[in-house]
Structure 1
């Protein structure tokens, strides 16, 4: 089966861990997974994109400031 490079993820759609791995390797995004560090442990496991965000707030431990990161983020969960 040929590999298709993903340009975006869509909420409500399922993707394999292998597809998500390829996506984050070629795209400047953040993935937040409900199964924590196990996201890429099983390449054929399927995940559903629950929600996407245009950005997020990040706290700097160096200066105590909070910054809005204009970076796409996706929440994914095991199917």
Structure 2
């Protein structure tokens, strides 16, 4: 069995919600889930990393500008 503390996510791999929770808590990333707000509700539920990007654009409602965020983001879906 894999340890719960992981340092990186790999596209195509499966991870438990517990592992993802640990990863997000210790790494500066964005995690997008097809499971909405229930991502961490079941620690043993598995998710597959389906996509990874190096950064993303974000719109600011304060000044109306779009800013590029140089932050890794992962898309995960329930298995």
Give the TM-score range, shorter chain: over 0.9
Give the SS at the match of 1:64: coil
- The CA deviation string for residues 39-73 of structure 1, in whole angstroms up to 9 with x for no partner, is 00000000000010000100000000000000000
TM-score w.r.t. structure 1 length? 0.95
Aligned residue for 1:40?
40
Note the residue ranges of structure 1 that are not aligned, 5 or more in a row. none
Aligned residue for 2:72?
72
Deviation at 1:5, TM superposition (A): 2.0
Aligned residue for 1:61?
61
Q: 1:2, 1:75 → 2: CA distance?
A: 21
TM-score w.r.t. structure 2 length? 0.95
CA RMSD of aligned residues (A): 1.3
Note the residue ranges of structure 2 that are not aligned, 5 or more in a row. none
